[in-house]
Chain A
Amino acid sequence: MKENDKLGYLNIDTSLYKTRISEKFQNRKSYKPADPRIILSFIPGTVLDILIGKGQIVKKGEILMILDAMKMQNKLKCIMDGKVKSIAVKKGDKVSKGTVLLELE
């Protein structure tokens, strides 16, 4: 063990252990519960078409957007009744997995 080792503390079952803390652990994302009103892209791709507008009332099962991904045109269906609060992307945008596409209210 080197003298200049940077050591921190890790809590396991209320005991504090003096140890090196890995980068992966330090950079881990803290958990946030999913909000069903925020619609995220489930796959990386390109926004091919947006079928609804801001302020529009939408019904469960209605197609909101077409996302071109993995050589497929994927239909994004609405999972609940609501009103479109905002649209975060425009036609032709490339989005990665987990990008916010639109928000309902």
Chain B
Amino acid sequence: MPVNKKIRELQEKREKVLLGGGEQAIEKQKAMGKRTARERIMALLDENSFNEYDLFVEHDARDFDMDKKSLPSDGVIIGSGTIYGAPVAIFAQDFTVAGGSLGLMHSRKITKIMDHALKMRMPLIGINDSGGARIQEGVNSLAGYGEIFFRNTISSGVIPQLSVILGPCAGGAVYSPALTDFVFVVDNISKMFITGPEVIKTVLGEEISMEDLGGARVHCEITGNAHFFALSEEECFDQIKKLITFIPWNNGQKARMFEPAEPKPEYNINKIVPEDPTLPYDVKDVIRAVVDNSDFFEIMQLYAKNIVIGFGRMGGRTTGFVANQPLEMAGVLDVDSSDKAARFIRYCDAFNIPIITLVDLPGYLPGVDQEHAGVIRHGAKVLYAYSEATVPKLTVILRKAYGGGYIAMSSRHLRADFVFAWPSAEIAVMGPEGAANIIFRKEIMSSDDPDGMRKQKVEEYKTKFANPYVAASRGYVDAVIEPSETRKFLMHSIEVSENKDVSMPRKKHGLPPF
């Protein structure tokens, strides 16, 4: 065969496979407001950067007449490309081919690109859009899932792993995203659950829609299984691209440096925090007042809003922020906010990202529901995560830092490298009202005017202890700084921490309370 003919033969073979499940199936996909798998990859990666592998892979199943069925590329597209020049490995399930169902070869393609990503130490992005296991392939499908979960786990903390849910992702399939670092979902398109509405109806007689059971909003607001909420696939891809700019390609590197930029002048750091420690404000404005270009990229915006996490840059360097949010539930630590913060702290630590902690909290949320939900165990995650983190840890105490909350929020005692406090800081064993009621109980009870006496004692306690100077006198705080000096102090601290090197006792792994 002449060369030209052979090339044409390849082109024809490609064209046939590139159509995926065929025009009808593609039309159906579009009618659901979804792009095809290949369109998604093209939209996400830099132009012309995608190299596809295993285009001609086919399944080998025989039972249930499967030998008569051809499934182009076995329902999943794999390859690598770049996002803003960063190398990424990617797989995208093709719902137009047998509902994106996972059979043996389908899973082998996924594990091939996972192995590749781990070996080449580059980020992995998985686009999930699948009806689940390919029932006709029986236990081979289960084996496929297991092989994926195993790789998710051993790659965890070595390469960034991002999961994008752009369709159904049900049953065992949800555990791959759950094992990855960040999960992206789109309103009305993403659906994740272990048992679907039909099973729930049969077993329990309870009726619930897919959206209410495991839609994008549910996972962003209630379960905390997803980290980024978008209204369209386009918005979702923008979020992924932005995240990629903040994180390194693997755990042996640091994130790319960007051109440093000053914060925008509209965020006036002197005017954000009210003097009265019981009044709210948006702590994100404080973050915006210190980060480059006032650009703060928030993660888990809709979940446990009493703590804020996300990335910004300080002098061009990616920095992770953890901040109590006085605007939501007074910024207390509770089960959900502890879980959210701890996981993010561990992410930053795994990928060499310094952590800045902004502290303003009254303590832990009281309540039977909190105690019974295990606030001891979940709260301990924060202590664990901060203590084991060896990346640079910088703390700024803005206002309240009471009791256990003070200790947990990256205090000196958990080996924070730099602890700064504003003059408005109140570092104390508890709030003045509570403390005065206990310490001066006798005086208050025996007074002719208990209310007046209580007020007097609260004031006394406030003047004596509700300030940063007691902690500063013990060296628990390194410097009491003016709010306007915050960026300067933080930038310098990050600069001098560039080569921080501490070693921990040898162990196989610790036992964090999860």
Contacts and interface: CB of A to CB of B under 8 A. Distances in A.
Given A10-B332, A14-B437, A15-B433, 13 more contacts: A1-B282, A10-B329, A12-B365, A13-B433, A15-B432, A17-B280, A17-B330, A18-B280, A22-B329, A25-B329, A25-B365, A28-B367, A44-B204
Interface in A1-50: 1, 5, 7, 10, 12-22, 24-25, 28-31, 44-45
Nearest to A28: B369
Contacts of A45: 203
29 contacts: A1-B280, A1-B282, A5-B327, A12-B330, A13-B430, A13-B431, A13-B433, A14-B434, A14-B437, A15-B277, A15-B433, A17-B278, A17-B280, A17-B330, A18-B278, A18-B280, A19-B327, A19-B329, A19-B331, A22-B305, A25-B365, A28-B367, A29-B369, A30-B368, A44-B203, A45-B203, A94-B203, A94-B205, A96-B206
B363 interface: yes
B295 to A, nearest CB: 20
B362 interface: yes
Most buried by B among A12, A14, A24, A31: A12
Interface string B7-46: 0000000000000000000000000000000000000000
A31 B280 contact: no
A22 B282 CA distance: 15
Main secondary structure of the interface of B (DSSP, over half): loop
A18 B281 CA distance: 10
A100 B200 CA distance: 20
B352 interface: no
Given A1-B280, A20-B280, A13 B368 contact: no
A45 B204 CA distance: 6
* Interface size bracket, B side: 20 to 34
B226 to A, nearest CB: 17
B203 A17 contact: no
Given A13-B363, A13-B433, A14-B431, A20 B328 contact: yes
Most buried by B among A14, A21, A45, A94: A14
B73 interface: no
* Interface size bracket, A side: 20 to 34
A34 to B, nearest CB: 12
A46 to B, nearest CB: 8
Nearest to B331: A19
B306 interface: yes
Nearest to B369: A28
A7 to B, nearest CB: 7
A19 B326 contact: yes
Interface in B253-302: 277-282
A54 B277 CA distance: 60
B279 A13 contact: no
B512 interface: no
Interface of A: 1, 5, 7, 10, 12-22, 24-25, 28-31, 44-45, 94, 96
A74 B431 CA distance: 51
B182 interface: no
Nearest to B328: A20
A29 B326 CA distance: 24
Nearest to B368: A31
B406 interface: no
A74 B399 CA distance: 55
A94 B204 contact: yes
Contact of B328 (A19, A28, A31, A44): A19
B402 to A, nearest CB: 7
A94 B330 CA distance: 42
B368 A1 contact: no
A12 B221 CA distance: 24
Given A1-B280, A1-B327, A22-B306, A15 B437 contact: no
Nearest to B284: A1
B50 to A, nearest CB: 42
A17 B206 CA distance: 39
Nearest to A32: B368
Contacts of A14: 431, 433-434, 437
A18 B362 CA distance: 12
Given A12-B363, A45-B203, A20 B329 contact: yes
Most buried by A among B277, B336, B433: B433
Interface string B422-444: 00000000111110010000000
A19 B204 contact: no
A69 B280 CA distance: 48
A24 B362 CA distance: 19
Contacts of A1: 280-282, 327
A1 to B, nearest CB: 5
